[in-house]
Amino acid sequence: MDMTLRWYGKGFDSVSLKQIRQIPMVKGVITTLYDTTPGEVWKKERIREMKQDVEAHGLKLSGIESVNIHDDIKVGLPSRDQYIENYIETLTRLGEEDIHMVCYNFMPVFDWTRSDLKKMLPDGSTCLSYDQELVDKINVENMLSSMEEKADGFILPGWEPERMARVKELFEMYKDVDEEKLFQNLVYFLKAIMPTCKKYDIRMAIHPDDPAWPVFNLPRIITGKEKIQRMLNAVPDMENGLTLCTGSLGSNPNNDIIDMIHAFKGRIHFAHVRNVNHLAPGKFDEAPHPTELGSLDIYGIMKALHDTGFDGPIRPDHGRMIWDEVAMPGYGLYDRALGARYLSGLWEAISKK
Ligand SMILES: [Mn+2]
């Protein structure tokens, strides 16, 4: 287990590498070249620079989140082969820089979705929240402005304005893409990149869909045990793996995360651990990390990761905004630092049993 924090890079993140380095037990960061666009080949010099910057601060670059997938790959257009070639070239360059874990998602049009980025909790902190009833009332074309409103000027990952300006066009692109087609397009992509992943020992970790059900009638294929198992079986190479995001999978109370950790042993390459509070069907708040404060058994999750020999990077996923911090929603320093301390403490206790 390699405790890390996500970092968006200089100029994008309000949190500094110096601050991250001072969180006890956090040894690495998960980062990305945030200003690249899906489909482009990452420049060698920029990858090297990013890595050197992280290492100069006494931290390890533990993996990339994310190298985003071009829509033509997800839709399955003839142009996908060129974009897959580009992706392979980026993976090669990451491998040459000794980077071995890449997180990505395969969600059409929208990445994660929330109905509120600043829901006030009784203690005065704010959290990200989701309410299907509210989302159903939002016109998709206004979705960006409703997200931007409470983002405090930060660019949200997966919600880049230039992408959202094309939202109508994107919906049009995906109109004939059903769940099966999306799944087959994912398999096509994975089979194409596996030889490179093997050559450089790069573990691909697909992020579950968030929330774990279809939103705006768009297909979702990484939502629960059966679908994830199907994806892992379709491309059985161990390099084809999963990001176990407890908050995304845990948005659906029917998902048994501890059972999934055991079922996917050896194929979980990255873990995002956070808690959620189930309020009603289709309605949840993101909660502080401790088990007692949400609906998920975080102790049980950490124990299952420990007992199945999980050895990849882990990070406390989103935190609340506390102590008047102003940061990218979900990605402030303070609550995530508390989360890292809690998770490290659990791990120590579990390891000594
Ligand atoms: Mn996550």
Write the pLDDT tens digit of every residue in 277-309. 999 999 999 999 999 999 999 999 999 999 999
Angle 164-189-60 from CA coordinates, rounded to 5°? 75
Contact between residue 164 and residue 211 where contact means Cβ atoms under 8 Å apart: no
CB half-sphere exposure, 298, CA atoms < 13 A: 28
Domain 2-352, CATH homologous superfamily name and number: Divalent-metal-dependent TIM barrel enzymes (3.20.20.150)
Contact between residue 301 and residue 246 where contact means Cβ atoms under 8 Å apart: yes
pLDDT category at 81 given cuts 50, 70, 90 is very high
100 is catalytic: no
**What average pLDDT does range 331-350 have in this prediction?**
97
> Hey, where are the domains in the chain?
2-352
Distance 196 CA to ligand 1 centre (A): 25
Distance 90 CA to ligand 1 centre (A): 22
207 is catalytic: yes
CA distance 37 to 39: 6
pLDDT tens digits, one per residue of 12-42: 999 999 999 999 999 999 999 999 999 999 9
pLDDT category at 152 given cuts 50, 70, 90 is confident
Identify the pLDDT of residue 159. Answer: 75
Comparing CA positions, the residue from 131, 138, 103, 136 lying closest to residue 117 is: 131
318 is catalytic: yes
Identify the pLDDT of residue 314. Answer: 98
Of these residues, 317, 334, 335, 342, which one is catalytic? Answer: 317
Of these residues, 272, 285, 289, 334, which one is catalytic? Answer: 272
Strands (E), 57-186: 60-65, 101-104, 116-120, 126-131
- Report whether the peptide linkage leading into residue 248 is cis, meaning its omega lies within 30 degrees of zero: no
CA distance 152 to 208: 26
pLDDT tens digits, one per residue of 98-130: 999 999 999 998 778 888 899 999 999 999 999
Identify the pLDDT of residue 259. Answer: 98
Distance 241 CA to ligand 1 centre (A): 15
116 is catalytic: no
262 is catalytic: no
Of these residues, 70, 100, 207, 269, which one is catalytic? Answer: 207
Look-up of token digits 């998602």: 105
Identify the pLDDT of residue 158. Answer: 74
The whole model's pTM is what?
Answer: 0.94
Residue 140 is classified by DSSP as G
200 is catalytic: no
